[in-house]
Structure formats: C-alpha cells, structure tokens
Amino acid sequence: MAFISVADEMAKKSFTSVENKFITKYLPVLEPVAVKIYLYSLYLYQNGQTAYTLCDMAQALNMSEDEVCSYFEYLEEFELVAIISVSPFEIKILDAENVYGTPKKFKPEKYSDFTKSVQNILKGRMISINEFREYFYLLEEYGFEQNALIMIINYCASLKGDNIRFQYIKKVAKSFADEGVTTAKKVDEKLSAYTSSTPALIKIFNAVGIKDKPDIDDDKLYKKWTVELGFNDEAIIAAAKHFKAKTAERIDAALSELFKNRKFDPKEIADYCKNKNSVYAATLEIARNLGIYMNNSAPYVENFVSVWCNMGYSLQCLTNLSSYCFKHGKKSFEDMSVFINKLYEEGIITDEATDEKIAALENEDKLLGDLLSTCGLTRRVIDWDRESLKRWRSWNFSDEMLFEAAKISSGKSNPTAYMNAVLSSWKNENIYSPDKINPAPSSFGASAAQSKTDSRELKSAIEKHFFDLRHKAEAAAESELAVALADEKYGKLHKEINDLSMQLAFAEVREPEKAEEIGKKIDSLNLLADDRLKQLKIDKSAFTPRYKCKICNDTGYDPDGKPCVCLEKFIASYNSKI
C-alpha cells in the first residue's frame, strides 16, 4: 500500500498548488513560520482573494503586521517572493529558483575564515545560517573568489551601513558576476573605477541636496550622463537644480529630456527651463486657435510644439501660424505640422519670412477666391485650387489670362476643370496674351472631327465623363478601406502605422538616428496589417483608386497638361454617335 493516499471525499475538494521545487528545496531549510506565510499567500492568490490586505493576513495568522512583513523580507532573500510596494504593502510570488533536488550541502569548515570576515563587516546584526548558505551559493555557483565577495560585501556595508540586508548585497554581487567580475583583482579594478567618479557624484549630490551616498548604480548613470549623453558636471548640476531632481533617477530623466531637446550648456538648460512654462502656455493658445480641447497638453508639447521650436520657430510665430491654419481648414496639430514641415523644407523659419509667406498665401487665396467668383462658384478655396494655381503659374500664365479663362469657364458644370482644360489648350497653342485668344476656343487641341458637334455640349460631356470615372474609382477605394477599418484589429494597426508615420516625419527632422528604428517598427506593423488583410480576404491594392487610364488618372490631361489619348478617344467616340 502507498505511503500516502487520500480519501475519495478529499479528492473532490479544492486545493492550493505548490511547486515541487519548493517542497524539495526550500521546505527543509526555511523557518516554519515563513513556510506558513508562503503557503497562505499561495492560497490567497489561487483562490482569487484580491481584496485581501496585509492587515487581514496578520489577523488571520494571529500575528502583527510587522512580523508578517519581516517574514516576507526573509522569503525575499530566498527569491521566493518580491516586495513590489511598501505602502500599500504588495508582494509578487516568484518561481522557485534553483534546480530540482535537495539543497546543496556546504561544508562550514571550508568557509570558516570567510564567515568570520563577513560577520566582522556586518556587525549591525547576526548573520543567519540561511544567509551564509546564500553566500556559499554565490561563491560556488557564480565562481566568486572568497576575497572578491568579501570586497563586495565590504563595499555594500560602507554604502548602506553594517546592518544592510542580504538582498542588496546579492543584487550587487550578481551584477558583478554578469560582467564577469568574480576575482579579487577584477573587483578591485571595478571598485577603483567607480571610486574615481565618486568625488564627482558626491559633488553633484551635495549641490542638489541628495543625502544618499553614490553607489554602483549611480556610477553607471554618471557614465551614461557624461560619456553617452555628453553632459559635464556643471550641466548635470544645473539640470538637477532646474528640474528639482532629488534622486539620481530623476536627474537621469531630466538629462534625457534635455538631450532629446539638444540642450547641453548650463545657460541653454536655464533658458529651456525658463521657457518651458512659456511653451506650455503657447501650446494652449495654439490649441485654442485651432479649436482643439486638450485634456493633457504634455504630449502636444513634446510631439509638436517643442519639435517646432527646435526647428527654429518662435512661439509668437507658431501662434500666428495656428490662426492661419484654422482659417484655411487645417484644424489639428497634425495638419499644422504638415504645413510647418513644408515651410521648413522651403527654408521659411524666421518671423519675418513666415509673415511674408503667410501674406503671399493670403494674396493667392484672395486671387483664387476672385477667380472662383468669376467662374460662378461661391465655395471656399481648397488645396486643389492652390495646387492648380501653382501649376498655372508654372505654365507662365499671368493673372489677366487666368481671369480670361475663368470668364470662359463660367456656367460650365465643372468650371475649375474646364478652366484647367482651357489653359492647357492655350499653353499648347502658345497663347499667353488676351489679344491672341480665338473668339471660339478650340476644344482642347482635339482633331477637326470635334467640329461636328457643339463645342459647349462636347466640353460638358467631357467634364461629366471624367468626373464620373474619377468618382467611381475613388469611391470604390474608400469603400474598400472602410470595410477593412471596420475590423477592430486592422483598424488599430492602421492607426498605429499612421501615428508612427507622423513620428517618423519628426524624427527625420529632429532625431535622424531614431528614424531608422521607427521605420523598422512601421515595416513590422505593415507586415501584421497585411497578414490581417489576408485573413479578411481583402486586397490592399484596392485601397488605391483604380483609375481607368493610368496615364492621366482619369483627368483627361497628362502630367504636362497635354490632352491624354483617352480624351481624344472619348471625343472621337462622342462625335461618332452624333
């Protein structure tokens, strides 16, 4: 018969699972109360007692809260739990660390000198057998020389006091082992290198009111600040003071922000911090000008306004630009950023240059408004009109000729498209002054067969034909994209790709070294998005309008403004039906 069995009734009841490694490795050596604490913690977690508190556990086990905390600290030394918060008190149960089997046997006599040395260093408390067992484990499993580990323990005690807990010592020892620093010589070299930077760290800590002594982790941060980021001690102190940083971690965060914004000199840092509130105020004003409500302005400062300032734009200039953007339909930070990037590419950065550019754009919009009115339209100016004006100007047409074309186009079903056709025809016929305009303009350079039908009706038919073709292709593409975006997974990926694309645009201007990383993320997300489209059986190419004519994209005119082959075919077909 088996040594242990259970009754049928017991087999049907609920249970708390315990790792075998805990039973075989830790149970024989842990203090009994610690075992009780550990098992009760497992029970609470596995039975969903999420509302349980430290006070509840102490009452249930008839112990004080301090006693429960001390046993959790004891279990933490064995890496069976991790204390992740002190107030409120929270712990995380960890995986039993070592290999399956009974604890390794260490011969105390082998380490008698070592144990005496360690106890002499840690005079503030008596070292338990279990703590010595962990030191022996470090010596044998990590390959530390005894003198090397003693040096590490002595270093930790000099920083934290002779009553320092084992967990900190173990953390430092493991960090040394990870770097292959396990001999007395290498430990001495590492501590010497750390000691060389200690005076600078002490100077920085004293200057900003940090009372703790610098440790190895602080030394790593100092090397990051001075070597990787390029700050000198005066700049570090200036940053800590201006950001009111009272820990090394907060100094690190401040310097990372300054590095991102290319501020390295103490004066630059002072100016940056002085203007930081101004930047936030300007961001709020820009948002108001754009008609946007911001719940949290920090992301807009970091991702937009600070970027624009680093490009060289003043806050007053940005405020003026935001007013212009709102009036011209660019009512988001993203749209404004696209506009500013275009200005930046043209080298338009100073207040004077931007004022001149805005004035020029305002004049162009006024001209376009007058042209639209001459055409018989009452709508506002849109970007397509601005692109058309840029194209007509590139064709060397004067404002006078533009108004002549607008008069001829008045009353047509699509006046602006008709106007583009008239100007294209004049360009091909080298007509650049009003006196050369024929009383009855040719039908956009088509063949003589076009005279078989009324010019006005033909032009109307052309406009309707190509409008219908474009509308059909673009509506189909929008419909396909809408179907894909209705899928939650693809919609989320599509938004992430768009957001990263915006970040990529900023990175290429502000932090070129990050552009490649963002590009890789976009490529990765594109692959996931493409896979999702395959699962949905949607062809990604359908998102792009499939124009019937690949030469002119169903406009009737090639990129040079000349009549497309498809236009001539349509005219021939139209005339043949008369």
Contact residues for 175 (Cβ-Cβ < 8 A; gap 6+): 216
Mean pLDDT of 468-478: 82
Indicate the Cα dihedral angle 427, 432, 437, 443, nearest 10°.
10
Find residue 91's DSSP bridge partners. 83
Confidence band of 149 (pLDDT split at 50, 70, 90): very high
pLDDT value at residue 102: 41
* H, E, C per residue of 113-152: HHHHHHHHHCCCCCCCHHHHHHHHHHHHHCCCCHHHHHHH
Lowest-pLDDT choice from 1-10, 282-291, 507-516: 1-10
pLDDT value at residue 442: 42
Q: What is the chain's percent helix, strand, coil content, to nearest 5?
A: 70, 0, 30
Contact residues for 222 (Cβ-Cβ < 8 A; gap 6+): 197, 200, 201, 204, 214
Residue 90's H or E segment, with its range, is: strand 90-93
Please check the confidence at residue 551 and state whether its pLDDT lies above 60: yes
Per-residue model confidence as pLDDT tens digits over 407-425: 888 877 678 878 888 888 8
pLDDT value at residue 447: 38
Q: What is the sign, positive or negative, of the torsion defined by CA atoms of 305, 310, 315, 318?
A: negative
Q: For residues 289 and 324, what is the distance between their CA atoms, to the nearest angstrom? A: 9
pLDDT value at residue 36: 92
pLDDT value at residue 285: 86
- DSSP code string of 173-215: HHHHHHTT--SHHHHHHHHHHHHHHHHHHHHHHHHHT--SPP-
| Residue among 310, 290, 347 at smallest CA distance from 511 | 310
Per-residue model confidence as pLDDT tens digits over 343-401: 998 899 988 888 898 888 888 888 888 888 888 888 887 777 888 888 888 888 998 99
CA distances in angstroms from 151 to 129, 167, 176, 188, 220, listed in the order given:
21, 16, 12, 8, 19
Please check the confidence at residue 307 and state whether its pLDDT lies above 70: yes
Lowest-pLDDT choice from 270-284, 338-352, 394-408: 270-284
- DSSP code string of 218-279: HHHHHHIIIIIS---HHHHHHHHHHTT--SHHHHHHHHHHHHHTT--SHHHHHHHHHHHHHH
Please check the confidence at residue 559 and state whether its pLDDT lies above 80: no
Mean pLDDT of 479-505: 82
Mean pLDDT of the chain: 81
Q: For 389, how many CA atoms within 13 A lie in the half-sphere containing its CB?
A: 20
Q: For residues 343 and 348, what is the distance between their CA atoms, to the nearest angstrom? A: 5
The percentage of residues in the chain with a pLDDT greater than 90, rounded to a whole number, is: 4
| Residue among 91, 132, 128 at smallest CA distance from 113 | 132
Indicate the Cα dihedral angle 92, 93, 94, 97, nearest 10°.
140
Chain centroid to Cα 15, Å, comes to 45
Residue 562's H or E segment, with its range, is: none
- 181-186 contacts, C-beta under 8 A, 24 or more apart: 181/148, 182/142, 182/143, 182/144, 182/145, 182/148, 183/145, 183/148, 184/145, 184/147, 184/148, 184/151, 186/148
CA distances in angstroms from 459 to 308, 417, 557, listed in the order given:
47, 10, 14
Please check the confidence at residue 441 and state whether its pLDDT lies above 50: no
Please check the confidence at residue 472 and state whether its pLDDT lies above 50: yes
Contact 443, 450 (CB under 8 A): yes
More confident residue, 203 or 9: 203
Contact residues for 545 (Cβ-Cβ < 8 A; gap 6+): 470, 473, 474, 476, 477, 553
Please check the confidence at residue 510 and state whether its pLDDT lies above 70: no
More confident residue, 48 or 346: 346
Q: For residues 240 and 217, what is the distance between their CA atoms, to the nearest angstrom? A: 17
The tokens describing 249, both together, are 């971690």
Contact residues for 526 (Cβ-Cβ < 8 A; gap 6+): 497
Please check the confidence at residue 450 and state whether its pLDDT lies above 80: no
Q: How many CB atoms lie within 10 A of CB 317?
A: 22
For the chain, the straight-line distance linking the first and the last C-alpha, in angstroms and rounded, comes to: 107
Q: Peptide bond preceding 441: is omega within 30 degrees of 0, i.e. cis?
A: no
The tokens describing 353, both together, are 């240059």
Q: For residues 351 and 314, what is the distance between their CA atoms, to the nearest angstrom? A: 7
Q: How many CB atoms lie within 10 A of CB 60?
A: 12
Q: For residues 551 and 531, what is the distance between their CA atoms, to the nearest angstrom? A: 31
Please check the confidence at residue 541 and state whether its pLDDT lies above 80: yes
Per-residue model confidence as pLDDT tens digits over 84-103: 877 788 888 887 754 333 44
Phi, psi of 2 (to 5 degrees): -65, 150
Please check the confidence at residue 454 and state whether its pLDDT lies above 70: no
